[in-house]
Amino acid sequence: MQTSTQTEIETYLDSLNWRYATKEFDRDAKLPEPVLEGLLEAVRLSASSYGLQPYEIQVVSDPEVRQKLRAAGWDQSQITDASHLLVFTYKTDFGPELVESYIDRVSETRGVEKAKLNGYSDFMKSKLMDLPREQKSNWTARQAYIAVGNLLSAAAVAQVDACPMEGFDPVKVDEILDLGSRNLSAAALVALGYRSESDATQHQNKVRRTRQELFTHI
């Protein structure tokens, strides 16, 4: 069995220590297309409950739309100044089709007859379909946040700056992107690009709880 080396772990931790929630982006520095595609693939490969991925990501490039989103996002400059803006959206409701489309992908990808997956399909439906709508949306939003975290880590490894944002009016963002028509709602925004040299926050020490405060060994 292949195991990670201490050097690999240290390199990853160095990347996490390098990253910070970038407040000022260099407006002229754009992500190369292969780098962006790699980060989007990292999001696609994110873990999710049952593997269902009950969310979608809006990659917003239109300057006018981004300006509207900035107005809905408390005038945070990252929304318009970063190279790229991703809006993580979660399903506000879903039916059996969420499970059935996943079963189709499993059958096609793994070469398994769909009939042999009926038990798993029924199990997932029994756990999810009868949930109240509010509980469904809470669950889907949590899955979206797993993908957000994966993106931030992947960006750090790629030496791409990022800023996750919850500071926005979700009703206005949903209206701007017409998310309601697709049973979607905005969970988080993530700006991607390269930091401005004038961003003073890049020099601040990272503040986190100690291991003793954070972990309980049982």
Encode pLDDT of 46-80 as tens digits: 999 999 999 999 999 999 999 999 999 999 999 99
Angle at 178 between CA 152 and CA 50, to 5 degrees: 50
What is the structure's pLDDT at 2? Answer: 62
Q: What is the pTM of this model?
A: 0.95
Return the DSSP state at 10: H
The predicted-structure confidence for 22-34, as pLDDT tens digits, reads as follows 999 999 999 999 9
Mean pLDDT for the chain? Answer: 98
Neighbouring CB atoms inside 10 A of 136's CB total: 21
pLDDT at 6 over 90: no
Return the DSSP state at 73: T
Closest to 93 in 3D by CA, of 141, 145, 45, 149:
141
The number of helix segments (H) and strand segments (E) in the chain equals: 9, 4
| Residue 163: band (very low, low, confident or very high) from pLDDT cuts 50, 70, 90 | very high
| Residue 4: band (very low, low, confident or very high) from pLDDT cuts 50, 70, 90 | low
With beta carbons less than 8 A apart as the criterion, state whether 164 and 149 touch.
Answer: no
Place of tokens 């509980």: 135
With beta carbons less than 8 A apart as the criterion, state whether 24 and 77 touch.
Answer: yes
With beta carbons less than 8 A apart as the criterion, state whether 38 and 69 touch.
Answer: no
Neighbouring CB atoms inside 10 A of 16's CB total: 12
Distance CA 163, CA 63 (A): 18
Q: Which CATH superfamily is domain 21-93+137-195 in?
A: NADH Oxidase (3.40.109.10)
What's the first-to-final CA gap in the chain, in angstroms? 27
What is the structure's pLDDT at 5? Answer: 79
Q: Which residues contact 196 (CB under 8 A, 6 or more apart)?
A: 24, 25, 26
The predicted-structure confidence for 108-161, as pLDDT tens digits, reads as follows 999 999 999 999 999 999 999 999 999 999 999 999 999 999 999 999 999 999
Return the DSSP state at 45: T
Q: For the chain, how many residues are written? A: 218
Place of tokens 């709508």: 133
Between the CA of residue 5 and those of 1, 2, 10, what are the distances in Å?
12, 9, 9
Chain-centre distance for alpha carbon 112:
30
Distance CA 61, CA 172 (A): 18
Mean predicted confidence (pLDDT) in 163-181: 99
